[in-house]
Structure 1
Amino acid sequence: MAHRLSLRGILAFGLALASNLALAAQPHAFTATYAVSKDGAPLGRATVILKPAGNGQWEYSKHMQGTSGLAAMLGANLAETSRFRWDGDVPEAISYDYRMEASIKTKQRHLAVDWASHQVTVDEGKGVQTYAAVPGMVERNTTALAIGLALRNGQHRIELPVAVRQEIEHQQFEVTGTEKVGVPAGSYDAVRVDRTDADRGFSAWYVPDRYPLPVKLSQKDGGDLTMELVSFQ
């Protein structure tokens, strides 16, 4: 006897397929290392790690240690750790911790999102600030990852709600061309992405079919800081 597929069955199949496609779009755990320079001079090395953290959450961390020049002299270390949950293929923020240590100063920031009340709390040790959360928001540490996943999905103009110190910034990024890029990890035909809504210089070069992170990133805010991929596994 032929079996007829009910409307409920069709809908269930469609939802399951959509869920599987969304999961397939999410990257696996990885470790990436970068050579870091400032104003053209070697500064140090950064390690970026993505790993599951349990209870449906993921941890994305970046640790940079100054190994050259003034950064080495000052014993500078930078650590950023994010917790997030997947909203489709967007790393939706749960918390973010920033700590910069050097012999002359220490700077830190803690950001937490209460999704039950849709409220963001930011504490830099000088008083707590709060503002409303936005669905699908990221924060400064996971922005590069979110851009890479959007590129892999074929987007050329990307808008991200990014949680910063006092508010949500709706940051705009756009693919501005393809360029040959040589970094310690190899030579690539890379997609260049520039931030288009601010005067601060931000450029990143991605190879979306190979890596969810940029192979090169240049950030002029606070100095001409450049990161170049050394390894990815």
Structure 2
Amino acid sequence: MPPLSVRVLSLGLLFLSTGPALALEPFLATYQAYNEGKLAGAATMKVSHHGGSRWQVDLAITGTRGFARLARLNIEQSTVFDATGEQYRPLSQATVQKALFSGKRMVGTYDWNAGTAQWLGDIKKKRRAPLPLQPGDMSALLMNLAVIRDAEPGKPLNYRVVDNGRIREYDYLVAEQTEIIAVEDLSYDAMRIARTNGGNDETIFWVANGVPTPVRILQREDGQDGVDLRLVDYQGVQ
């Protein structure tokens, strides 16, 4: 579930208005990372421009408290992609998971000429076979940017995600009304975007006008909060 040297957040309330989507720009965002309702560490999301239509989005979550700290849990994800018009087309994807006694690395390539995507590394054999690509397919990490681009009050959102050797459909619905999301001394008037086809596996984004990254990303399972990222700062980057 995205980063320059000028701090653009300020204390107070950020109001949402319905207007044109933000143009894709480089930024670095910093989040508090909660797990099961308890502060467990920090996360960063970074978007970098590599020239022309080539971009990269990175997410890193680091556990610093409780079990997360003791296990030295680190998760890093990265997607290189082309941004042409309003389409974000993934080119490569990598996931690195590090823990005290184990670690995993998976790398995928999206070959749009051949129309397939394939993953190698520490991944189950059944997920190493090439997967068929369709126009509009994206990685899971790219959804963090797509919801910023696409969200409008009451609008359904549909994404086909090809990631880590699997194809999954993600359906979301944007709430009709905004709601206040508070993180420490910051408050956002944000749109709630909730997954509608995940069953007991929920993912919820909150997005606010003028903010290039979700202000909160919450994963829930069986009605219980799991990983919860809450935005505390973002900066533009060169």
Could you tell me the TM-score, scaled by structure 2's length?
0.81
1:8-47 aligned at under 5 Å gives the runs: 26-47=23-44
Give the corresponding residue for 1:94.
91
Q: For the pair shown, which has the larger CA radius of gyration, 1 or 2? A: 1
Give the corresponding residue for 1:11.
none
Question: Could you say if the C-alpha distance between residues 110 and 221 of structure 1 is closer, same or farther in structure 2, counting changes exceeding 3 Å?
Answer: farther
**Corresponding residue pairs, total:** 208
Secondary structure, aligned partner of 1:139: coil
Return the letter of the residue paired with 1:171: Y
Give the corresponding residue for 2:13.
none
Give the corresponding residue for 1:158.
157
Give the corresponding residue for 2:15.
none
Secondary structure, aligned partner of 2:151: helix
Return the letter of the residue paired with 1:35: Q
If asked which structure has higher relative contact order (CA below 8 Å, sep 6+), I would say 2
Residue pair 1:48, 1:61 contacting (<8 A) in 2 also: yes
Q: In 2, Cα distance between the equivalents of 1:157 and 1:87?
A: 22
Return the letter of the residue paired with 1:66: G
Q: CA RMSD in A?
A: 2.1
Give the corresponding residue for 2:193.
193
Q: Percent identity?
A: 24
Secondary structure, aligned partner of 2:101: coil
Secondary structure, aligned partner of 1:190: strand
Q: In 2, Cα distance between the equivalents of 1:190 and 1:120?
A: 35
Secondary structure, aligned partner of 1:220: strand
Aligned residue among 56, 61, 64 for 1:59: 56
Gaps of 5+ in 2: 1-20
Secondary structure, aligned partner of 2:57: strand
Q: In 1, Cα distance between the equivalents of 2:181 and 2:166?
A: 35
Return the letter of the residue paired with 2:141: N
Residue pair 2:22, 2:210 contacting (<8 A) in 1 also: no
Give the corresponding residue for 2:135.
135
Q: Per-residue displacement from partner, 1:90-118 (whole Å, max 9, x unpaired)?
A: 32111110001010221222121011111
Shift of 1:51: 0.7
Return the letter of the residue paired with 1:175: V
- Bigger helix fraction: 1
